Amino acid sequence: MELIWQGITAALQLLITGDAEVIGITLLTLQVSGTATFISLILGIPLGTFLALKQFPGRRFVLSLVNTGMGMPPVVVGLWVSIMLWRSGPLGFLNIMYTPTAIIMAQAIIAAPVVVALTSAAIQQTNPKLRLQIRALGASNFQYLWLILKEVRFSLLAAVIAGFGAVVSEVGASMAVGGNIKGYSRVLTTATVLEVSKGNFDIAIALSIILSLLAYLVTLALTLFQQKRQGE
Contacts of 105 (CB under 8 A, 6+ apart): 36, 81, 85, 96, 177
Query: Among residues of the chain, what percentage have pLDDT more than 70?
Result: 96
Q: DSSP letters of 187-209?
A: -HHHHHHHHHHTT-HHHHHHHHH
Give alpha helix (H) positions in the chain: 2-17, 20-53, 59-70, 74-85, 100-124, 128-136, 141-151, 153-168, 172-178, 188-197, 201-231
In this predicted model, what pLDDT tens digit does every residue of 62-104 receive, in sequence order? 999 999 988 888 999 999 999 999 988 899 999 999 999 999 9
Q: Could you tell me which of 177, 202, 215 has the C-alpha nearest to residue 190?
A: 177
- The pLDDT score that the predictor gives to residue 125 is 87
For the chain, percent of residues with pLDDT exceeding 90: 41
- List domains and CATH numbers for the chain: 2-123+150-231 (1.10.3720.10)
HSE (CB half, 13 Å, CA atoms) of 218?
26
Q: How confident is the model at residue 232 (pLDDT cuts 50, 70, 90)?
A: low
pTM: 0.88
Give residue 12's pLDDT: 75
| Chain center to CA of 19 | 26
Express each pLDDT in 109-165 by its tens digit: 999 999 999 999 999 888 888 777 887 778 788 888 888 888 888 888 889 999 999
* Residue 231 pLDDT > 70: no
